[in-house]
Amino acid sequence: MFRPLALTSSAAVCLLCSACGGGDDNDSPIEPLQDTRSSVTGTHPVTMTMFSPVTSDAMNPVQSQPTLSLTAEPGVSDRLRVSLAPFECTLTATMTGAATFALNQGSCSLIIPPQDMKFGCSITLVITEGTGGRDTPHAKVGMTFNADYRKMCADDDAPFVTPVSVTLVGS
Protein backbone atom coordinates (compact mmCIF):
# COMPACT_ATOMS: atom_id res chain seq x y z
CA MET A 1 0.00 0.00 0.00
CA PHE A 2 2.83 2.40 0.73
CA ARG A 3 4.65 1.63 -2.51
CA PRO A 4 1.94 3.11 -4.83
CA LEU A 5 1.63 6.11 -2.52
CA ALA A 6 5.41 6.65 -2.58
CA LEU A 7 5.55 6.42 -6.40
CA THR A 8 2.63 8.81 -6.75
CA SER A 9 4.23 11.27 -4.31
CA SER A 10 7.59 11.23 -6.11
CA ALA A 11 5.92 11.72 -9.48
CA ALA A 12 4.02 14.71 -8.10
CA VAL A 13 7.22 16.24 -6.68
CA CYS A 14 9.04 15.75 -10.02
CA LEU A 15 6.16 17.30 -11.92
CA LEU A 16 6.07 20.26 -9.56
CA CYS A 17 9.83 20.83 -9.81
CA SER A 18 9.85 20.61 -13.61
CA ALA A 19 6.91 23.01 -13.88
CA CYS A 20 8.82 25.58 -11.84
CA GLY A 21 12.03 25.03 -13.76
CA GLY A 22 13.77 23.54 -10.78
CA GLY A 23 16.60 21.11 -11.33
CA ASP A 24 17.61 22.35 -14.79
CA ASP A 25 21.09 23.81 -14.46
CA ASN A 26 21.42 24.44 -18.22
CA ASP A 27 19.11 27.45 -18.16
CA SER A 28 20.89 30.54 -19.41
CA PRO A 29 19.55 33.77 -20.78
CA ILE A 30 19.23 33.84 -24.57
CA GLU A 31 21.70 36.34 -25.91
CA PRO A 32 20.81 38.24 -29.07
CA LEU A 33 22.87 37.51 -32.17
CA GLN A 34 25.72 39.92 -32.71
CA ASP A 35 25.57 42.04 -35.84
CA THR A 36 28.78 41.09 -37.67
CA ARG A 37 27.86 42.54 -41.07
CA SER A 38 30.51 45.26 -40.79
CA SER A 39 33.15 42.56 -41.28
CA VAL A 40 32.13 42.25 -44.95
CA THR A 41 30.23 45.44 -45.86
CA GLY A 42 31.76 47.89 -48.29
CA THR A 43 32.71 48.17 -51.94
CA HIS A 44 35.14 45.54 -53.17
CA PRO A 45 36.78 45.41 -56.61
CA VAL A 46 36.71 41.80 -57.78
CA THR A 47 37.88 39.60 -60.62
CA MET A 48 34.99 37.62 -62.11
CA THR A 49 35.41 34.13 -63.55
CA MET A 50 32.48 32.28 -65.05
CA PHE A 51 32.55 28.62 -66.10
CA SER A 52 29.93 26.63 -67.97
CA PRO A 53 29.82 22.88 -68.62
CA VAL A 54 28.61 23.70 -72.15
CA THR A 55 31.71 25.68 -73.16
CA SER A 56 35.30 24.67 -72.50
CA ASP A 57 36.52 28.24 -72.04
CA ALA A 58 35.86 30.65 -69.20
CA MET A 59 33.07 33.08 -70.07
CA ASN A 60 33.48 36.76 -69.29
CA PRO A 61 30.42 38.92 -69.92
CA VAL A 62 32.01 41.99 -68.31
CA GLN A 63 34.81 43.84 -70.06
CA SER A 64 35.66 46.02 -67.08
CA GLN A 65 36.51 44.98 -63.54
CA PRO A 66 33.26 44.39 -61.64
CA THR A 67 32.62 45.78 -58.17
CA LEU A 68 30.95 43.81 -55.39
CA SER A 69 29.06 46.03 -52.93
CA LEU A 70 27.64 44.69 -49.67
CA THR A 71 25.47 46.92 -47.52
CA ALA A 72 23.64 46.21 -44.27
CA GLU A 73 19.89 45.93 -44.70
CA PRO A 74 18.19 48.16 -42.12
CA GLY A 75 16.09 46.53 -39.44
CA VAL A 76 17.50 43.00 -39.85
CA SER A 77 20.73 42.15 -38.01
CA ASP A 78 21.87 39.37 -40.35
CA ARG A 79 20.74 40.55 -43.81
CA LEU A 80 22.86 42.16 -46.55
CA ARG A 81 21.99 43.80 -49.86
CA VAL A 82 24.30 42.60 -52.65
CA SER A 83 25.23 44.59 -55.77
CA LEU A 84 27.57 43.57 -58.58
CA ALA A 85 28.29 46.54 -60.86
CA PRO A 86 27.92 46.88 -63.83
CA PHE A 87 25.03 44.39 -63.39
CA GLU A 88 21.68 45.53 -61.98
CA CYS A 89 20.92 43.05 -59.19
CA THR A 90 18.07 42.08 -56.90
CA LEU A 91 20.14 40.10 -54.42
CA THR A 92 20.31 39.65 -50.68
CA ALA A 93 22.47 37.52 -48.44
CA THR A 94 22.19 36.21 -44.89
CA MET A 95 25.14 36.21 -42.50
CA THR A 96 26.15 32.65 -41.51
CA GLY A 97 29.21 33.46 -39.42
CA ALA A 98 31.38 36.31 -38.21
CA ALA A 99 32.59 37.08 -41.75
CA THR A 100 30.64 34.68 -44.00
CA PHE A 101 27.27 34.83 -45.70
CA ALA A 102 24.91 32.72 -47.80
CA LEU A 103 23.64 34.29 -51.00
CA ASN A 104 19.86 34.10 -51.40
CA GLN A 105 18.16 33.41 -54.72
CA GLY A 106 17.90 36.43 -56.99
CA SER A 107 19.04 37.79 -60.32
CA CYS A 108 21.45 40.18 -62.01
CA SER A 109 20.98 41.73 -65.46
CA LEU A 110 23.30 43.52 -67.85
CA ILE A 111 22.42 45.34 -71.08
CA ILE A 112 25.18 45.46 -73.69
CA PRO A 113 24.49 48.27 -76.17
CA PRO A 114 25.12 47.80 -79.91
CA GLN A 115 28.70 48.51 -80.96
CA ASP A 116 31.12 47.76 -83.80
CA MET A 117 28.33 46.60 -86.14
CA LYS A 118 27.08 44.09 -83.53
CA PHE A 119 23.56 43.99 -82.16
CA GLY A 120 22.83 44.83 -78.55
CA CYS A 121 22.39 42.00 -76.05
CA SER A 122 21.02 41.38 -72.61
CA ILE A 123 22.55 38.99 -70.10
CA THR A 124 20.71 37.70 -67.06
CA LEU A 125 22.14 35.60 -64.25
CA VAL A 126 19.46 33.82 -62.22
CA ILE A 127 21.30 32.91 -59.02
CA THR A 128 20.24 29.68 -57.35
CA GLU A 129 22.75 29.44 -54.49
CA GLY A 130 26.04 30.89 -53.31
CA THR A 131 28.34 31.80 -50.45
CA GLY A 132 30.80 34.54 -49.68
CA GLY A 133 32.84 36.37 -47.12
CA ARG A 134 36.45 36.56 -46.03
CA ASP A 135 38.68 33.87 -44.50
CA THR A 136 40.59 36.14 -42.15
CA PRO A 137 40.00 39.69 -40.89
CA HIS A 138 42.51 41.13 -43.39
CA ALA A 139 41.60 38.92 -46.37
CA LYS A 140 39.69 40.33 -49.33
CA VAL A 141 35.98 39.62 -49.64
CA GLY A 142 34.96 37.12 -52.29
CA MET A 143 31.87 35.24 -53.41
CA THR A 144 30.95 32.13 -55.42
CA PHE A 145 27.55 31.21 -56.81
CA ASN A 146 25.70 28.97 -59.24
CA ALA A 147 23.33 30.53 -61.73
CA ASP A 148 21.49 30.08 -64.99
CA TYR A 149 23.16 32.31 -67.60
CA ARG A 150 20.81 33.68 -70.26
CA LYS A 151 22.08 35.78 -73.19
CA MET A 152 19.73 37.22 -75.78
CA CYS A 153 20.90 39.48 -78.59
CA ALA A 154 18.71 41.48 -80.96
CA ASP A 155 19.60 39.26 -83.93
CA ASP A 156 19.12 35.93 -82.07
CA ASP A 157 16.11 33.69 -82.70
CA ALA A 158 16.33 32.23 -79.20
CA PRO A 159 18.36 32.95 -76.08
CA PHE A 160 21.53 31.08 -75.23
CA VAL A 161 20.97 29.48 -71.81
CA THR A 162 23.45 27.48 -69.74
CA PRO A 163 24.18 26.77 -66.08
CA VAL A 164 27.30 28.55 -64.81
CA SER A 165 29.53 28.66 -61.76
CA VAL A 166 30.78 32.16 -60.94
CA THR A 167 33.72 33.07 -58.73
CA LEU A 168 34.40 36.62 -57.56
CA VAL A 169 37.84 37.09 -56.02
CA GLY A 170 38.83 40.33 -54.32
CA SER A 171 41.59 42.12 -56.19
Give 62-75 pLDDT, tens digit per residue. Answer: 666 899 999 989 88
Task: Flag residues of the chain having pLDDT under 50.
Answer: 1-9, 11-17
Taking the CA atoms of 150, 94, 38 and 75 in sequence, report the sign of the dihedral they define. Answer: positive
- Residue 116's pLDDT is 78
Query: SS3 of 170, please?
Result: strand
Beta strands in 28-120 (DSSP E): 42-51, 67-72, 79-85, 88-95, 100-103, 106-112
